[in-house]
Structure 1
Amino acid sequence: MGERPKVISADGITVYNILKGSVTVRQEDFTALHSLPDGPFALLVAIILSQNSNDRNSIAAYDDLKRATGLDPARILALGDGLEQVIRRAGMVRQKARAIRELARLALERGVDFLEHGDINEVERALLSIRGIGSKTVDVFLSLYRKVPRFAVDTHAKRIAARWGLTRKGASYEEVSGALLNFFGPERSDEAHRLLIAFGRAYCTARNPRCSECPLRQYCPSATATGAQG
């Protein structure tokens, strides 16, 4: 077994405060925030559209679908195969259309109120039963809309957690999520999720990270020891 990596030398609250002062989380840069005012069903649709897509394209697809259907589950199902054309700008249209249709059926069978007020465990099980909805989609929804302490993990969060020494390279989704939740604390997990994405886009990029300009350089073991190449 290899030597355990060095861990970031600042605590989660300090890092959170530095991130808040260094990066900006704008509604127009996050599909989930863009859709949040439209309710729980719309939010889930938006999160599905954002999978493996940049926010610019997924927001465009979301707005196209909203104009076409008012994000009404019955009207979405009535589109049939036309749904794929409406959401084409999000990419991966077959998979996403299938998941959105199943979500629409769930909303019609159980009611949107189930998504908003139903037992958390039941909601999670129902959502995970839909092909195309995984832990990240559920965690984004539960943390943002239902205020459940979850830490959704995307490629930015996974990369940064490893560079900070909080997880091993190749750690599972559950390991990374748990480590970041413990590091930042449940009360900050939802906002910290988006701050990490903004930080990953601005500084801690996958290739050629901007370590010399990074506001966390003095604390980050990857920046100080290896130039964040690992």
Structure 2
Amino acid sequence: MKGRISVDGPTAFRLIKDAVEVRPSEFTALHALRDGPYALLVAIVLSQNSNDKNSIAAYEDLKRATGLRPSEVLRLGDRLGEVIRRAGMIKQKSEAIMALTRLVLERGEEYLDRAPPDELKAELMKIRGIGPKTIDVFLSLYRRVPVFAVDTHARRIATRWGLVRQGASYEEISRALLEFFGPERADEAHRLLIAFGRKFCKARNPRCDECPLRDYCPSAVQRP
């Protein structure tokens, strides 16, 4: 590890927020937030390993076909994959959405609203294709639970900033970012890191010269 980023979380948050823009049209979860907890979880599943343009398109296709009513989604059966095809990985996502739909029909959609977060996370983790990141996005955005969802951007940035070691676990990265930014900023910081990773801290050829944190980042590439 090269060292740790030499600025505090609130300052990093402010500098990133001034440098990037978070648009609902570029974040599937924000696009679906107004449609309720079941629809939001479906949208987050659709966004897995897909760009937001395609996952939002698939979400809207499913919304037109079913109104995002669990009973109507279940009625699609094997046709669900065709409806959500634009999101890609249709077999895995169809299975996850169907399992989620059965859970909601069994427990009621209010279960997603009211279940204790740890219980809900344990229940959702039983569904193949729904992992901790999907659940943490939901808990943070919809339930306002202070957790930090970790995607590939967050993992890369936390490692480059020296907040975690290379190869750190999901839980280690989540805790480190939550501590760095603070619980009150976790939900927004998650999306800011995605936008920051897309614009500046890219996996290849990061734009260190233009990065608002270049003077503080231990991994910044200084060019003559």
Smaller-chain TM-score bracket: over 0.9
Q: Which runs of 5+ in 1 are unaligned?
A: none
Q: Which residue of 1 aligns with 2:180?
A: 183
Count of residues in correspondence between the two structures: 223
User: Separation in 1 of the partners of 2:11 and 2:157?
Assistant: 16
Q: Which residue of 2 aligns with 1:214?
A: 211
Per-residue CA deviations over 1:135-189 (Å, capped at 9, x if unaligned) read 0001000000000000000000000001101111111111111110010000100
Amino acid of the structure 2 residue aligned with 1:190: D
Aligned pairs for 1:1-230 within 5 A: 4-223=1-220, 226=221
Give TM-score scaled by structure 2 length. Answer: 0.98
Give 1:120 deviation, angstroms: 1.6
User: Separation in 2 of the partners of 1:122 and 1:219?
Assistant: 39
**SS of residue paired to 2:77:** coil
Give 1:5 deviation, angstroms: 2.6
**SS of residue paired to 1:7:** coil
Which of the pair has the greater relative contact order for Cα pairs under 8 Å at 6+ separation?
Answer: 2
User: Separation in 1 of the partners of 2:140 and 2:77?
Assistant: 31
Amino acid of the structure 2 residue aligned with 1:111: G
Give 1:227 deviation, angstroms: 5.0
User: Separation in 2 of the partners of 1:120 and 1:21?
Assistant: 32
Contact 2:46 2:87 in 1 (8 A): yes
CA RMSD of the aligned region, Å? Answer: 1.1
Per-residue CA deviations over 1:22-49 (Å, capped at 9, x if unaligned) read 1001000000000000000000000000
Judged with a 3 Å threshold, the aligned counterparts in structure 2 of structure 1 residues 129 and 227 are, in CA distance, closer, same or farther, namely farther
**SS of residue paired to 1:121:** helix
Higher mean C-alpha deviation, range 161-170 or range 117-126: 117-126
**SS of residue paired to 1:35:** helix
**SS of residue paired to 1:79:** helix
Q: Which runs of 5+ in 2 are unaligned?
A: none
Q: 4+ residue stretches of structure 1 with deviation over 4 A?
A: none
Contact 2:32 2:39 in 1 (8 A): yes
User: Separation in 2 of the partners of 1:211 and 1:98?
Assistant: 41
Give TM-score scaled by structure 1 length. Answer: 0.95
